[in-house]
Structures are given as structure tokens and as C-alpha cells.
Amino acid sequence: MLFGFTAVYVPGQPAPTDPSVRALEQTMAGLMAENLHTGLNENLMAAMADPVEESMLHMVTLADSARTPTFTFFGDLNFFFESPPSARGTLPFVGMGFAWNHGDIQPEIARTFIGIAGPGVRNPGVTDSFFSDHTDVRPTIVWLSGLTDDYEHDGRVLMELIAPNTLSGHLHAHHETLLRLGQTYKAD
């Protein structure tokens, strides 16, 4: 496993209800380890997600179903997961220059900072007045730069960061509606 979660791919992509998948999920859900801080034997799992939940977490690539994990195991925050040396290859590992900022479900990990500056960008300062996630960064940067591509985005343009006076007439006229629509799209 790497960092706080691992995406599990079962060969042949069986359905989430397949007995072999359920057995593997139950086995992984029962994994225990000693917490070196408490001395107690504790469960390693914080949560598990199947493809339906992975879709809600923006972990599904619609263009390539082979990239969708059979399920994802999210580790307990009190444990750190990394690849064993034999599996590391070119994967990042704990060492010089390591930054533990990879996605997971715990607030300490999932809450990240993004700074966007440049022409057409508002300066709201440090704020937590709206929700965004990693999937919103790409569409926002693509929109601000005026670029286009054929990648299907899971996120939205962060209209909260766009200076309204830089929008075209039609978008400017509906700026508040676009803000509400984007926030509704991201609502829990």
C-alpha cells in the first residue's frame, strides 16, 4: 500500500457483489496492527469504497473503465502505509524530499491549499468560503488559460476565483447563477 489508501484491482473486473471481491474486502477490513503510540492492536481500515462510492469521490475515469479500482481501502489516520522496497520502483517513498500530501479521506490530508493568481483571477485572500476539490483545479486552469482539450473533466471551473469583469457579457450577466450552480454541484 502507498500512503493512506490503496486502490485494489481484481483481475477481470468482477462486480462489487462477486463472492471473491466480497471475501477480499472482508479480509482487508479485518487487517490489524499494533499502534506504536498506544500499544494496542487496532484495525488498519478507516473506510472502504466500491465503484459507486469511488464515482462520488471522483476516482472513476469515465473514458477508461479499466482504471476504476474494484474497491479502495482507506487506512486509519494513525497508520502510515507505503510500498515495500521490492514494489517501489519509481514510486515515491518516505525519504529525502518526501511530502505527505496525497489524497485520502481524513480532514488532515484531504484539506489542501491551492493558490491561483494571474489575469482574470479574483483575489479573495485565504478563504474557506466555498468547497472545491482536486478535480476542480484542471478545469479552472484550462478555462483561465483559454486552452481546450478532449479530456472529460469531473470537476468544475471555480467561478469563485474568476474576476466577474473578465467574463463575457452572457457569463457576466449570470455570474451569481453560475456560482450557485457550481456550489450545488459540489454539495454533499
Cα 136 to Cα 183: distance, rounded to the nearest angstrom? 12
pLDDT, one tens digit per residue, over 33-65 is 898 888 999 998 888 999 998 888 777 877 777
Nearest to 186 by CA among 115, 138, 144, 136: 136
Task: Map out the domains of the chain as residue ranges.
Answer: 5-91, 112-188
pLDDT band at 109 (very low <50, low <70, confident <90, very high): low
pLDDT grade, residue 108 (50/70/90)? low
- Rounded to whole angstroms, how far apart are CA atoms 62 and 153? 9
CA distances from 36 to 33, 39, 41, 108 (A): 9, 5, 9, 20
pLDDT in tens, 136-187: 899 999 999 989 888 888 788 999 999 888 888 888 888 889 888 888 887 7
Contact at 8 Å (CB) between 166 and 119? yes
Residue 81's region, left for phi above 0, alpha for psi from -120 to 50, else beta, is: beta
